[in-house]
Amino acid sequence: MSLLSIPKAAMSALHRPVYRHRLRVLVDSIIGHLRPGDEVLDVGCGNGTLAAAIKADPRCPEGVRVRGLERYPRGGEPIEVIGYDGGRIPLDDGAVDVVIVADVLHHEPEPDVLASECARIAGRYLIVKDHQVKGLLAQQRISFLDWAANAPYGVPCLYRYNTPSQWVAFRDRLGMEPVEERSSMRIYPFGFEQILGGSLHYFAVLAHSTDQEDEP
């Protein structure tokens, strides 16, 4: 039996505990950057579980409002989701305080266009989580991870990922500077982490340069 013939339900069941661990790590990584009353937009929110988990976390500052933005809204998400056609985001410049774009840019044929839109509407921070080509057989390992994580949900993969230097060039092109930047992330449970975690993951909290001194 080939991997492609594993039923969707079995793939989802395999993926679930790994996804749950990833969700916890992402919430832990993001929540300290939020402030009371923040408007947060999760761009490419998928099923909306990341934004919902941030809002439900006891450490979430008071009055934080989370919403999602999706090119392909799935329906039934636990948060408000704004649908759009993938072009201009239907929000004004600086309309939200924090934009999250988690494992979305590598699905986008024109990641710079999407990232510029995210930066435009982000009043304070743009938080990026994505993959990274770093380490032995990194391209092959991420491609497998990407396929395994997305095939059960029918999300198409382009198998194009940045190297560490391409991530630096990416944020330079956006005209943003890192408040926090990690070129490695312990994101998966033991066993998965050693093969598919660590340096295959990039995380950054980017700020418009004039906002840098605002970090508490």
Q: Which residues bind ligand SAM (CB under 6 A)?
A: 43-46, 50, 69-72, 86, 102-104, 107-108, 114, 150, 155
User: 50 vs 176, which CB is nearer to ligand SAM?
Assistant: 50
DSSP 69-88: EESS--S--SSEEEE--SSS
User: 114 vs 176, which CB is nearer to ligand SAM?
Assistant: 114
User: 69 vs 133, which CB is nearer to ligand SAM?
Assistant: 69
Instruction: Compute and round to an integer the Cα radius of gyration of the chain.
Output: 17
Give least dist CB 76 to ligand SAM, A. Answer: 14
DSSP run (H or E) holding 118: helix 111-121
User: 147 vs 177, which CB is nearer to ligand SAM?
Assistant: 147
Measured CA to CA, the distance from residue 28 to residue 174 in angstroms comes to 25
User: 63 vs 87, which CB is nearer to ligand SAM?
Assistant: 87
Give least dist CB 201 to ligand SAM, A. Answer: 12
- Give every CB contact of residue 9 below 8 A, 6+ residues apart in sequence: none
Give least dist CB 59 to ligand SAM, A. Answer: 19
Specify whether the CB–CB gap between 116 and 142 falls below 8 A: no
Measured CA to CA, the distance from residue 15 to residue 149 in angstroms comes to 7
Give least dist CB 45 to ligand SAM, A. Answer: 6
Query: Which amino acid, 203?
Result: F
28: left (phi over 0), alpha (psi -120 to 50) or beta: alpha
Measured CA to CA, the distance from residue 89 to residue 152 in angstroms comes to 27
Give least dist CB 89 to ligand SAM, A. Answer: 8
